[in-house]
């Protein structure tokens, strides 16, 4: 269990500054997700918290104590990586207990802790198997189990699901969320996948180009994005963004409209569009329609609908749900 505080944290590699003035407080027991595009600095930030990278300037406090110079071991933090890095010649139980046996923990205690972690992760039937005899999802659970046995005060997870296929990813996502609820340990989770961030996080930290763009709950970010970047990054399918004269008609440099806030086939359309693609997902239908001079719009409709490719449709935004941004990408009051 741990509180964490980052104050004016910077990170440079030589002359290149990859993290700029990071200020963040994480409460005990929170599930916080760092999300952002490739290269935005999320792994570097996580590795600095773990003690695997130096902090160039600023303060890292864990439970109030300045911790910049502590070794990873002194921080009592467990880290789970994308690659499972299990020992192939050891059984699941041996892999999970290995770090404790290095610390000369008594065998009975190792066994008790391994059993408790195996129970939490539903790994009991697999304890005598070798990693080669496990699925990707099971291996990732063993890697998480190896972290749990050490009862760390903070869990750091760096893209732990990216080697799994889509079905296993969503299953393991739920398992990690359940595990967090049971352990109530502070967890920081890095992903570039905004769906993972939205579904798992208590709070999301959106990073872009080494800076924090916004910190908030998933719904705060979705409903009130603090920048055009956050608006376009959070949400699937992506928000429609229009600029130029079409946006200035709404008193903004850029206008954002979420696909589910578009109305199609209205009597008094704002734009005439041609249908270019229809994705039928069963529970909803995604229509892509091009407006000459403005661009391609995405429209998300509940349920099943038929549209002919090439058909002309009238589009309009739900005016009360429009997001307006100025030239710097900052929101104009809604």
Q: Residues in the site for ligand ATP, rule: CB under 6 A? A: 13, 18, 36, 38-44, 192
Quick one: CA dihedral 73, 56, 157, 197, positive or negative?
positive
Token representation of residue 175? 């398992």
Q: Which CA distances in Å does 180 have to 14, 155, 190, 200, 334?
A: 37, 10, 15, 10, 35
- CB of 41: closest distance to ligand ATP in angstroms? 4
- Min dist CB 80 to ligand ATP, Å, is 15
- CB–CB of 84/137 below 8 Å? no
Decide: 77 and 187 in contact? Cβ < 8 Å: no
State which residue, 100 or 230, has the beta carbon closest to ligand ATP.
230
Instruction: Output 160 or 256, the one with its CB closest to ligand ATP.
Output: 160
Question: What pairs with residue 190 in β-bridges?
Answer: 34, 158
Shorter beta-carbon distance to ligand ATP: residue 42 or 75? 42
Q: For the residues of 124-166, what is the DSSP string, one character each?
A: GGGTTS-GGGS-HHHHHHHHHHHHHTT--SEEEEESTTTTS-H
Q: At its nearest, how many Å lie between ligand ATP and the CB of residue 190?
A: 7
Nearest distance, CB of residue 174 and ligand ATP, angstroms: 23
Instruction: State the virtual CA torsion across 220, 295, 304, 314 in degrees, nearest 10.
Output: 110
- Tell me the closest approach of the beta carbon of residue 53 to ligand ATP, in angstroms: 8
* Nearer Cβ to ligand ATP (54/178): 54
Crossing angle of helices 107-120 and 136-148, rounded to 10°: 130
Question: How far is the C-alpha of 81 from the C-alpha of 86, rounded, in Å?
Answer: 11
Nearer to ligand ATP, 20 or 290 (CB): 20
CB of 10 to ligand ATP, least distance (A): 12
* CA-to-CA separations, 38 to 21, 71, 190, 210, in angstroms, rounded: 19, 27, 11, 11
With beta carbons less than 8 A apart as the criterion, state whether 316 and 268 touch.
Answer: yes
List the Cα angle 167/46/139 in 5-degree steps.
35
Which residue, 43 or 138, is less far from ligand ATP as judged by CB?
43
Q: Which is nearer to ligand ATP, 192 or 258 (CB)?
A: 192
Closer residue to ligand ATP, CB minimum distance, 17 or 202: 17
Tell me whether residue 59 is exposed, middle or buried, using C-beta atoms within 10 angstroms of its C-beta: 0 to 12, 13 to 18, 19 or more: middle
Nearer to ligand ATP, 150 or 192 (CB): 192
Q: Compute the least distance from the CB of residue 209 to ligand ATP, in Å.
A: 9
- In degrees and rounded to multiples of 5, residue 147 shows phi and psi of -75, -40
């Amino acid at each position: 269990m741990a509180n964490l505080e980052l104050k004016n944290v910077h990170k440079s590699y030589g002359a290149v500054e990859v993290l700029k003035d990071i200020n963040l407080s994480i409460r005990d027991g929170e599930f916080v997700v760092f999300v952002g595009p490739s290269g935005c600095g999320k792994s570097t930030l996580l590795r600095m918290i773990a003690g695997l990278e130096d902090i160039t300037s600023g303060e890292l406090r864990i439970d109030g104590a300045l911790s910049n110079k502590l070794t990873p071991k002194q921080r009592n933090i467990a880290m789970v990586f994308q690659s499972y890095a299990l020992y192939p010649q050891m059984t699941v139980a041996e892999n999970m207990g290995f770090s404790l046996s290095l610390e000369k923990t008594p065998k009975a205690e190792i066994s008790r802790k391994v059993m408790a972690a195996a129970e939490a992760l539903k790994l009991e039937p697999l304890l005598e198997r070798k990693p080669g005899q496990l699925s990707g999802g099971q291996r990732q659970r063993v890697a998480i189990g190896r972290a749990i046995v050490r009862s760390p005060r903070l869990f750091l997870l760096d893209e732990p699901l990216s080697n799994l296929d889509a079905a296993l990813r969503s299953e393991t996502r739920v398992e990690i969320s359940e595990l967090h609820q049971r352990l109530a340990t502070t967890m920081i989770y890095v992903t570039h996948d905004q769906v993972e961030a939205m579904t798992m996080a208590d709070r999301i930290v959106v990073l872009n180009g080494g800076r924090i763009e916004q910190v908030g709950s998933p719904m705060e970010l979705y409903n009130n994005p603090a920048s055009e970047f956050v608006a376009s990054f959070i949400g699937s399918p992506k928000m429609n963004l229009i600029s130029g004269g079409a946006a200035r008609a709404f008193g903004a440099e850029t206008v954002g409209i979420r696909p589910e806030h578009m109305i199609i086939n209205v009597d008094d359309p704002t734009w005439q569009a041609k249908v270019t693609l229809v994705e039928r997902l069963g529970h909803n239908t995604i229509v892509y329609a091009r407006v000459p001079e403005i661009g391609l719009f995405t429209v998300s409709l509940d349920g099943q609908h038929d549209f002919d490719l090439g058909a002309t449709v009238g589009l309009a935004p739900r005016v009360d749900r429009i997001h307006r941004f100025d030239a710097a990408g900052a929101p104009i009051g809604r």
